Each structure stands twice: as C-alpha cells, then as structure tokens.
Amino acid sequence: MGEAASKDAIRKAAAVTRSASSSFYWAMRLMPGPKREAMFAIYAFCRVVDDIADEPGMSREERLAALGQWRQRIGKLMDDGLAEEDICRALLPSVRTFDLRKEDFLAVIDGMEMDATGPMVAPDMDTLDLYCDRVASAVGRLSVRVFGEPGELGVRIAHHQGRALQLANILRDVQEDAGDGRLYLPRELLEKHGVDHSDPAAITADPAYAAVWRDLAGVAENHFTATRKLFAKSRADLRPAHIMMEVYERNFSRMRSLTDNELADPAVSKRMTSKSEKLFAALKIWLWGRA
C-alpha cells in the first residue's frame, strides 16, 4: 500500500470522526500524529459497523452479511496485512505500531451482530454485560494500547470505563431505543420491581420504571468509580479517556438528579451536556490534565 493511499485513508477516517463527534474529534486532534491517526481509524471502524447494525433500510440478513464482510476484512488485515478498503488502509499502520489485537476488532463486530439479529429486549444481566464488553470495552482495549497502557491495568480500565459509558448511554436513550423496539434494561431488575417488559414503548409509563432506572444507574456508578481509581494508578497519557469520562459522567450525574417523573417523561431531554460544554471539558483536560 502506498503512502499516499494510506494518508488519504487516514484523512477520510478523520472526516468520519469530525462529522460524528466534534468534541472528541478535537480531543483526538490534539494527540501526537501516530496516536491521533490511530484513534481516527478506530473510531471510523466502530462508526461504520455500528451504522450497519442500525441501518433501517437493511434486512436482518443484509446486516449480518455486511458485518460478515467486515469480519473478513479484519481477518485479512490482521492475518495477512492486506488492506483493500479505506478504513482498513487507515488502520494498517496503527495495527503495526500499537500492536492492536484482532480479537478486539472482532468483539466489536460480535456486539453489532447482537443488535443486527433483532431488537434486544430485556436481556439478562450476563447478556447485557457481554454486550457492553463487546460494543464498548473492546473499543477501550484498542484505545488504551494507543494511549500507552497496553498491559493488565489498561485492560481493567477498558473493562470498567467501557461498561460505565455504555450503561450511561443505555440509561440516556431508553425512550429512543424503545422507539426501535429495543429495551436494554436488564430482566432481573425489571422483574425485581414488577415491571412488564413485553412492550418497550410502554416501559416508562410503569410507576416502577424510575426504580429500575436508578438500580442500573447504581451499577454504572460503580464502574465510573472503579475507572477513576484505576486512572490514578496509570502513568500513561490517558487524557482522551479522561475527557470521555468527564463528558459522560457530567451528563450521567445530571440525569440522576432528575425527579422520577422527569426520568419517565419523554419530553424531558436526557442529553443534558451541550456541545460547547463538551468542547470546554476537552480543552480543560487537555491543557491541565484533569477535570
């Protein structure tokens, strides 16, 4: 693969990141060149497979076939060093430089297949945890290698931060997911509070919905706390991970401060952190190294 083709592929990956997440784009943009390019490529990969899993115009079979193509592309990239598509061309230098692992890329695809096979409705806790590991912690395992924490400590950071961020997303998007027939709230908590989960669209109308929400928020809070403790043990430059924590935890804390009625009200937005706040948090952490 020529250098010009590689640089063009990296520029395209950066464009994907910028269009999808402006605050994180600028956080990544401030990283040293090879790390920046690696994160753009990882983000672009995650974006494209996530879009496949959520594409409304595709059938289940078409989604799975498209994700299967990405499984083959990652296999060729990791096993043979072959990059026949822009995102793979953008990933190739980073795979070599940061020793990115094939199993983590495939885990992300596995997670997208869990969504692509049909709407997930009230999974048990073990299935929800596996889903979080695949769609979030696996991305973290790729990222910590780029940040410079490739060992066991990095794996533990990815484990807890991935789950914290994904559970925060799930708690933020209950109503939005219900519109797609999805319900990620775990069956054990729904049954504990006697909440009928046969119709995701009706879930927030149940009087016990807020109790279920707050129980799962407690699980997320434990992962946020564990992540911050692990951050303190690392000597690597984890500022990008700190930025994600700051932005997600700020929104998460604001959601937790809502009343039960506000939590259940679809008219109350659960996206409570503005783009300007995200950018400010990114710049603050990048310049001073902490929130």
Q: What is the pLDDT along the chain (291 residues), one digit of tens a residue?
A: 556 556 788 888 878 877 876 667 777 777 898 999 999 999 999 999 999 998 888 999 999 999 999 999 999 999 999 998 999 999 999 999 999 999 999 999 999 999 999 899 999 999 999 999 999 999 999 999 999 999 999 999 999 999 999 999 999 999 999 999 999 999 999 999 999 999 999 999 999 999 999 999 999 999 999 999 999 999 999 999 999 899 999 999 999 999 999 999 999 999 999 888 887 887 788 876 654
Hey, how many other C-beta atoms are within 10 angstroms of the C-beta on 118? 11
CATH assignment at residue 134: 1.10.600.10
Q: Are residues 265 and 123 in the same domain?
A: yes
**Residues 21 and 153 both lie in one domain:** no
* pTM for the predicted model, two decimal places: 0.94
Taken in order 20, 113, 214, 125, the sign of the CA dihedral is: negative
Task: Decide: 160 and 226 in contact? Cβ < 8 Å.
Answer: yes
Cβ–Cβ under 8 Å, residues 251 and 172: yes
Strand partners, 202: none
Same domain, 169 and 217: yes
Of 118, 136, 165, which closes a domain?
118
> Of 87, 118, 149, which marks where a domain is finished?
118
Looking up tokens 């083959």 gives 72
Both 223 and 82 in one domain: the answer is no
Distance CA 71, CA 111 (A): 12
Measuring CA to CA, how many Å separate 73 from each of 16, 64, 69, 86, 105?
Answer: 19, 14, 6, 11, 11
Domain limits for position 103: 1-118
Which residue, 78, 93, 118, sits at the end of a domain? 118
Sequential DSSP letters for 40-95: HHHHHHHHHHHHHHH-TTS-HHHHHHHHHHHHHHHHHHHHH----SHHHHHHHHHH
d(C-alpha 229, C-alpha 157), whole Å: 9
Residues 39 and 157 in one domain: no
Report yes or no: 208 and 194 within 8 Å, Cβ to Cβ.
Answer: yes
